[in-house]
Amino acid sequence: QQQVKQSPQSLIVQKGGISIINCAYENTAFDYFPWYQQFPGKGPALLIAIRPDVSEKKEGRFTISFNKSAKQFSLHIMDSQPGDSATYFCAARVTGNQFYFGTGTSLTVIP
Amino acid sequence: KAGVTQTPRYLIKTRGQQVTLSCSPISGHRSVSWYQQTPGQGLQFLFEYFSETQRNKGNFPGRFSGRQFSNSRSEMNVSTLELGDSALYLCASSSMDGAGYTFGSGTRLTVV
């Protein structure tokens, strides 16, 4: 049973375009929603995170939009660059540091 | 500030053997979590240790075990290895409330 459902599985975007990755969850006990970026041969690195009492958080070109009633959240990458090409994971946490991850989105930004 | 250090980076083992992986957390972090990452299943939570006690456990068989030492370093052990155990094993450390949740680069385990 996948606790966090992520889509799309892969995404190709032109340089300068907007990349959008979506995630959905069911467990209302989740209290923290991070996004991770992973390059080949590396572990996931925290990109940006949001708590459920906030509807949007922006850090540079990266924005999380959070819809608590719909139990959905999404990552928007503005002005996508080739260096953003990586795998992105959404995640959700229950108390005690147990995280559930989405299945990942492979993003390719074409120059 | 040093990151999360996992050793070894690569490991090749034979079916039926056992293996021990090591994780040194960021200084001051007392929570260490382990994950298995495979192309088909993504990131799967194995267990979390805090102050030498297992605080959470994922849905993995008893062949997967771990422990944490007084200096917060953690080890993960897999006994009676199976081909399906081939994966990237990731360790993450954080403070008690999850602040600064940081992953290491992982140990790539191949079972032949």
Task: With CB atoms and an 8 Å threshold, state whether B105 touches A41.
Answer: yes
Residue A37 has pLDDT above 70, yes or no: yes
Confidence (pLDDT) at A99: 87
Express each pLDDT in A38-80 by its tens digit: 999 889 999 999 999 999 999 999 999 999 999 999 999 999 9
pLDDT confidence tier of residue B1, bands split at 50, 70 and 90? low
Rounded CA-CA distance A77/A8 in Å is 14
Residue B59 has pLDDT above 70, yes or no: yes
Kindly report the nearest CA distance between residue A42 and chain B, in angstroms: 5
Confidence (pLDDT) at A22: 98
Query: Which chain B residues have a beta carbon less than 8 Å from that of A43?
Result: 4, 90, 92, 103-106
Task: With CB atoms and an 8 Å threshold, state whether A97 touches B103.
Answer: no
Confidence (pLDDT) at B40: 77
A47 shares contact with chain B (CB less than 8 Å):
no
Confidence (pLDDT) at B74: 98
Confidence (pLDDT) at A1: 66
Calculate the average pLDDT of chain B.
93
Task: With CB atoms and an 8 Å threshold, state whether A96 touches B90.
Answer: no
Interval B47-76 mean pLDDT: 95
Beta strands in chain A (DSSP E): 4-7, 10-14, 19-25, 33-38, 45-50, 56-59, 62-67, 72-77, 86-94, 98-101, 105-110
Confidence (pLDDT) at A2: 75
Alpha-carbon radius of gyration of chain B? 13
Residue A3 has pLDDT above 70, yes or no: yes
Task: With CB atoms and an 8 Å threshold, state whether A96 touches B55.
Answer: yes
Nearest by CB to residue B45, choosing from A41, A89, A98, is A98
pLDDT confidence tier of residue B18, bands split at 50, 70 and 90? very high
Q: Which residue has the higher pLDDT, B2 or A65?
A: A65
Calculate the average pLDDT of chain A.
94
Query: Which chain B residues have a beta carbon less than 8 Å from that of A97?
Result: 31, 33, 48, 50, 55-56, 94, 98, 101
Task: Return the bridge partners of B87, or none.
Answer: B109
Q: Which residues are CB-contacts of A74 (< 8 A; sequence separation ≥ 6)?
A: A20, A21, A22, A23, A64, A65
Express each pLDDT in B19-55 by its tens digit: 999 999 999 999 999 999 998 788 999 999 999 999 9
Confidence (pLDDT) at B41: 80
Task: With CB atoms and an 8 Å threshold, state whether A43 touches B103.
Answer: yes
Task: Return the bridge partners of A98, or none.
Answer: A94
Confidence (pLDDT) at B2: 79
Confidence (pLDDT) at B61: 96
Share above pLDDT 70 across residues of chain B, in percent, rounded to a whole number: 95
What are residue B49's phi and psi, to 5 degrees? -115, 140
Torsion, Cα of A82, A87, A88, A90 (10° steps): 180
Nearest by CB to residue B45, choosing from A32, A89, A99, is A99
Share above pLDDT 70 across residues of chain A, in percent, rounded to a whole number: 98
Task: Report the amino acid identity of residue B109.
Answer: L
pLDDT confidence tier of residue A95, bands split at 50, 70 and 90? confident
Query: Which chain A residues have a beta carbon less than 8 Å from that of B90?
Result: 43-44
Q: Which own/partner pairs from B53-61 qualify as long-range (CB within 8 Å, at least 24 positions apart)?
A: B55/A96, B55/A97, B55/B31, B56/A96, B56/A97, B56/A98, B58/A98, B60/B36
Residue in chain A nearest B90 by alpha carbon: A43
Q: Is B51 left (phi over 0), alpha (psi -120 to 50) or beta?
A: left
| Cβ(B30)–Cβ(A91) below 8 Å | no
Q: Which residues are CB-contacts of A28 (< 8 A; sequence separation ≥ 6)?
A: A71
